[in-house]
Homo-oligomer: A and B are copies of this chain.
Amino acid sequence: MTTTPTAPSPTRSLLDAVRAGVRVVDLGRRLTVGMPQSPNHPPYWHALPRRHGDMVRVDGGSAANDMISMGTHVGTHVDALAHVSQDGRLYGGLEVADALEGGRYAELGAHTIAPMVRPGVLLDVPSALGVGRLEPGYEITVADLERTLELQGSTIVPGDVVLVRSGWGQHFDSGAKELFIGHDSGVPGVGAAGAQWLVDHGIHATGADTIAYECLPPGAGHATLPAHRVLLVENGVYIVETMDLEELAADRIHAFVFVLSPLPFFGATGSPVRPLAVVEDE
């Protein structure tokens, strides 16, 4: 028998912090059949092919199981860099045909998104602007972002993940499904300028509480996606959509450890995720 001495522990203070107690704020939306999602993607559906009692083993045990059909841009989700192209090219100038291998995006697909355990910053724009929720179609300006940063006393360090709250997430499970999607009403969000401001701060990823991250003018649908172009195509910054940012805002948690662990679907353009904000217990 070989002894297997433990390596000198490199995890002392991190583990200590966790042992001392952490609060985990769930930033993901529950996946339910019929929830609001973009009509451009296969909707989330779920059924149980086998329920308890359908087939019981002789020992009295029984297992139930599931069948799921969905797109990847359903519920709270992250966009892979393979999701959006401009003029035939993906991030890094890669030609779209060159990213494919056997019919899937071997390059820049969801499986290439490294799990994130990074400093996270919430920019609670409506709170900074003194409103409960931004107006539909409102474009969050650079001035809004800077004001929010200043009022919060927050700082953004290169490599951070920045979450931009609009308050629009309040519509997700209010029953006003069409309102959350906002095809007719519009949706608030950053535009190209705001996206560039985030890029200039060197962020690794960004997220929002809306379905498309973007500012969608009323009636415009998802026809153009300038922030996606700036973030995904030009700068390789990941986008997380349909987040639940209400608890963070209510408790004024503006700095946290952000955790995101996308499912590594080989060659896909995104993944549903359940992002977390982790802080020490008070």
Contact = CB atoms under 8 A, between A and B. Distances in A.
Nearest to A264: B30
A47 interface: yes
A140 to B, nearest CB: 15
Interface stretch (A181-189, A193-201, A202-210, A272-280): A272-280
A260 to B, nearest CB: 8
Contacts of A129: 1
A96 B152 CA distance: 49
B87 A30 contact: no
A177 B129 CA distance: 40
Contacts of A69: 42, 45, 67-69
A243 interface: no
Nearest to A110: B66
What is the oligomeric copy number? Answer: 4
Interface range on chain A (Cβ under 8 Å from partner): 35 or more
Contacts of A253: 7
Given A65-B72, A68-B268, A114-B24, A45 B49 contact: yes
Interface of A: 1-7, 9-19, 22-24, 26, 28-34, 39-43, 45-55, 57, 59-73, 75, 82-88, 90, 96-97, 99-100, 102-105, 111, 114-115, 117-119, 124, 127-130, 147-148, 151-154, 157, 223-225, 228-229, 251-257, 259, 261-270, 272-276, 278-282
